[in-house]
Amino acid sequence: MAVYSIEGCQDSCYPGTTVLINKLEIREQELLCEAESIIVTSCSAKAEKELEFVDVDFDFYKGLHKLIFSDLYDWAGTVRTINISKKGTVFCDHNELERLGKLRFDRLKVQDLLCGMEYDEFVSEIAELYHELNMLHPFREGNGRTLRLFITLLVRNADHDIDFALCDADMLAIATIKAAQGDTSLLKAVFAEIIEK
């Protein structure tokens, strides 16, 4: 689970804790992280194999979040209602999530879901999209996992392959922070390493 700075640091949490209220009634963060890992990994693997990649819009993206987190949280698949930041990065204002999410996915549709692009352009567009969706950060929890699943599905739909297991998690985190500061070059380099030509 990510550690966010949020409006009202205990929003959606059990009283006196920062543990998110969950369907399993787990009130210890370490146990919740373990349960999340097992459930989300299983649901994501199933989605990679079985989910039909059609009607790809912001509702599809929210549906991915619901698919992998609905066993844990009642609010899975819904956008956050508070503002959040993490390690100095301030994410999109919650009042703008629906509008900006729709606009970004409308652009992706116009780009034909990045199909048919030359490899270098494709990697560059994936990095930009990853950055923009990361800055959107539409959910209270589970943004990175939803984003990685979506990018995996998108890349495979465009007849490439991607393996996030080849990526150093710390390097990806540093690349996203640099991108938030206006420099996407490291993020592009990371994707060039993990996207098959």
Residue 19 banded pLDDT, cuts 50, 70, 90: very high
Question: E-assigned strands of 63-148?
Answer: 84-86, 89-90
Position 96 scores a pLDDT of 98
> What digits encode the pLDDT tens for the residues 153-188?
999 999 999 999 999 999 999 999 999 999 999 999
Position 177 scores a pLDDT of 94
Examine the pLDDT at 8 and tell me if it is beyond 50.
no
Give the structural domain span for 89.
5-194
Residue with tokens 């787990």: 26
Examine the pLDDT at 7 and tell me if it is beyond 90.
no
Domains identified in the chain, total number = 1
Domain CATH for 25: 1.10.3290.10
| Rounded Cα gap, residues 73 and 133, in angstroms | 21
What's the gap between Cα 1 and its chain centre? 13
| Rounded Cα gap, residues 187 and 35, in angstroms | 30
More confident residue, 151 or 17: 151
> What digits encode the pLDDT tens for the residues 70-122?
999 999 999 999 999 988 889 999 999 999 999 999 999 999 999 999 999 99
Strand partners, 195: 162
Residue 137 · residue 144 · CB < 8 Å: no
Examine the pLDDT at 6 and tell me if it is beyond 60.
no
Q: 40, 30, 25, 12: which is closest to 145 by C-alpha?
A: 40
Per-chain mean pLDDT for the chain: 94
Examine the pLDDT at 3 and tell me if it is beyond 80.
no
> What digits encode the pLDDT tens for the residues 132-145?
999 999 999 999 99
Starting from the edge strand earliest in sequence, which strands make up the sheet with 89-90, in order?
A: 5-6, 84-86, 89-90
